[in-house]
Amino acid sequence: MALFDDNFLTTLRGAIQDSARAQGVNVQIEDANNEVGRQLNQIQNFIASNVDAIIINAVDTDATVSISSDVSRAGIPLIYVNRQPVNVDNLPTNQAFVASDETVSGTIQTQEVCRLLGGKGNVVIMMGELSNQAAIARTQDIHDVIATEECSGLKIVAEQTAEWSRTLGNDLMTNWIAAGIEFDAVISNNDEMALGAIQALKASGRKMDSVVVAGIDATPDALQAMRAGDLDVTVFQNAAGQGETAIDAAIKLARGEEVDTKVWVPFELVTPSNLDDYINR
């Protein structure tokens, strides 16, 4: 795992453990603490231990070419989960990618923001880590939606990374408020940054019904913020589904069976109108 200290990745990790346990598979999970070098060392240790399969949630999706090469030479099946490797279209035999299609996530998120704003207004964007393919794709989704005729009245007035972090999201929003930037919506690449933005907005005295805040992941904390009327939009990324599917793919490859190179777990839009359908997922 890229890191343990993340709400979404904690759910993903739990699903991997639960699914492995249910299928009688022993799983060892390491925390890279968001350090590329540490993750590469962990992978080398797995290779040296001659494990039956490796599942990776990559710290840096640009580092996956060398990872794929090393693991392929060792003859060990490899599953990338959640974060899309840069070499996803050229994975070696016995390797696959399990995730949700990021061309959908930011698209349905921004389309809903556009609808709520009536197609016009100022928007600020909180980006995830720029080394992460999901942050790049979700941000591009936002730009693509705003380029459409029905949403062309939306204007991006600020765009900056807060590295997926609630604390950094709070800091970034505090800075934007102090700089006098005026906006009608916050579109965040994930829920954690959106929740940090909400904290800063409320601390500044802004009424939450005067701003649209959108995230992605539909984490438990985000759903509670939506129930409280603070978060307007999120997108359910099925962490449990991704974890279960990654284990299934790893087991099949370890048995010599074939799996699709790309396995998509669908994204789903979450709004106050269908919130109750996701509270216990």
Q: pLDDT tens-digit profile of 11-47? A: 999 999 999 999 999 999 999 999 999 999 999 999 9
Output the pLDDT for position 6.
87
Q: Is the distance from CB of 183 to CB of 157 less than 8 angstroms?
A: yes
Sorting pLDDT into bands at 50, 70 and 90, what band is 8? Answer: confident
Residue 201 has pLDDT above 80, yes or no: yes
Residues 6+ positions from 248 with CB-CB distance below 8 Å: 19
Mean pLDDT, range 245-266, rounded to an integer:
96
Residue 224 has pLDDT above 90, yes or no: yes
Four-way CATH pick for 102-237: 3.40.50.2300, 1.25.40.10, 3.10.180.10, 3.30.70.3280: 3.40.50.2300
Residue 145, CA distances (Å) to 133, 152, 153, 155, 212 in order: 18, 8, 11, 11, 16
Q: Is the distance from CB of 109 to CB of 269 less than 8 angstroms?
A: yes
Percentage of the chain lying above the pLDDT 70 cut: 100
Q: Residue 170: CA atoms inside 13 Å, Cβ hemisphere, count? A: 11
Give me the residues paired with residue 235 across strands.
Answer: 269
Four-way CATH pick for 7-100+238-266: 3.30.1330.60, 3.40.50.2300, 3.30.413.10, 3.40.50.10490: 3.40.50.2300
Q: Whole-angstrom Cα distance, residue 144 to residue 220?
A: 29
Query: Do the two domains 7-100+238-266 and 102-237 of this chain adopt the same fold?
Result: yes
Q: pLDDT tens-digit profile of 73-101? A: 999 999 999 999 999 999 999 999 999 99
Q: Taking all residues of the chain, what is their mean pLDDT, rounded to a whole number?
A: 96
Output the pLDDT for position 236.
95
Q: Whole-angstrom Cα distance, residue 176 to residue 97?
A: 37
Q: Angle between the 102-117 and 133-146 helix axes, to the nearest 10 degrees?
A: 40
The one-letter code for the residue type at 86 is: V
Assign 234 to helix, strand or coil: strand
Q: pLDDT tens-digit profile of 135-167? A: 999 999 999 999 999 999 999 999 999 999 999
Residue 281 has pLDDT above 80, yes or no: no
Domain boundaries, the chain: 7-100+238-266, 102-237
Sorting pLDDT into bands at 50, 70 and 90, what band is 131? Answer: confident
Closest to 134 measured CA to CA, from 85, 70, 201: 85
